[in-house]
A and B are shown apart, each in its own frame.
Chain A
Amino acid sequence: AQTVTQSQPEMSVQEAETVTLSCTYDTSESDYYLFWYKQPPSRQMILVIRQEAYKQQNATENRFSVNFQKAAKSFSLKISDSQLGDAAMYFCAYRSESPSNTGKLIFGQGTTLQVKP
């Protein structure tokens, strides 16, 4: 069974600075997808960025980028130029390519990010 681990329960960053959130996962599969979701106090999970395992190039979305290390099973999220609105809980998630796992995301325990003005 696949597992996702986020080892940092809480992180803090100064506004305009850069922060990296860690995520590791365990799987025996070669094809899968990885996601970072953000959950602000409004509770709605918002997709931040996604990565296909077959792509070696790291995904980037504006101020958000990932460092995907497939061999190490590591998927970290870097937030550049942090803004107050980035404060939220961040979840790393794994989705298997297997048809038997359709619709299922496996989440890490989350990292609460605090942004200090």
Chain B
Amino acid sequence: KAGVTQTPRYLIKTRGQQVTLSCSPISGHRSVSWYQQTPGQGLQFLFEYFSETQRNKGNFPGRFSGRQFSNSRSEMNVSTLELGDSALYLCASSHDTYEHYGYTFGSGTRLTVV
């Protein structure tokens, strides 16, 4: 059974640009959550999608957005990149009914903004 796949693994972008990150959940999982991990702020919840709808959102500016496709794959977009957006972005998927069993994470995308 394939795990959660995140692409790309690494990205280097220039301040002001925009970036799109991709996450393919485990087959059968319809919930996808995104997290930002930085040394200073730790792991912070960005948003969660289920059946192509955003169900929950964290405290991030509107430059951070996402979407989910009918096959449950999700993308996260950050516009007008700032230096402070440099982070490891993790996505996690779960089977909605058994969400409390835990979430399966991908290996993340390391974004560096220069």
| A residues whose Cβ falls under 8 Å from a Cβ of B | 33, 35, 37, 42-47, 50, 52, 91, 95, 97, 100-110
Contact residues in A for B64 (Cβ distance below 8 Å): none
Are A43 and B108 neighbours in the complex by a CB distance under 8 Å? yes
Are A103 and B50 neighbours in the complex by a CB distance under 8 Å? yes
Please give the distance in Å from B104's CB to the nearest CB on chain A.
7
Please give the distance in Å from B72's CB to the nearest CB on chain A.
13
Are A102 and B50 neighbours in the complex by a CB distance under 8 Å? yes
Give CA–CA (A40, B105) in the complex, Å.
13
Q: Which of B21-59 contact A (CB under 8 A)?
A: 31-33, 35, 42-43, 45, 47-50, 55-56, 58
Residue of A nearest to B93 (CB): A103
Contact residues in A for B105 (Cβ distance below 8 Å): 37, 44-46
**Of B32, B56, B102, B104, most A-chain CB atoms within 10 Å:** B102
| B residues whose Cβ falls under 8 Å from a Cβ of A | 31-33, 35, 42-43, 45, 47-50, 55-56, 58, 88, 90, 92, 94, 99-108, 110
A44-B107, A102-B31, A104-B56 known; 15 other A-B pairs, CB under 8 Å? Answer: A35-B102, A43-B108, A44-B106, A45-B105, A46-B105, A50-B102, A101-B56, A102-B48, A102-B99, A103-B47, A104-B33, A104-B45, A105-B35, A105-B45, A106-B45
Residue of B nearest to A100 (CB): B56
Are A50 and B101 neighbours in the complex by a CB distance under 8 Å? yes
Q: What are 5 A-B contacts with C-beta separation under 8 Å?
A: A44-B106, A101-B56, A102-B99, A103-B31, A104-B58
Give CA–CA (A43, B106) in the complex, Å.
8
Knowing A101-B56, A103-B31, A103-B56, say if A47 contacts B102 (CB, 8 Å).
yes
Contact residues in A for B90 (Cβ distance below 8 Å): 43, 45
Contact residues in B for A95 (Cβ distance below 8 Å): 99-100
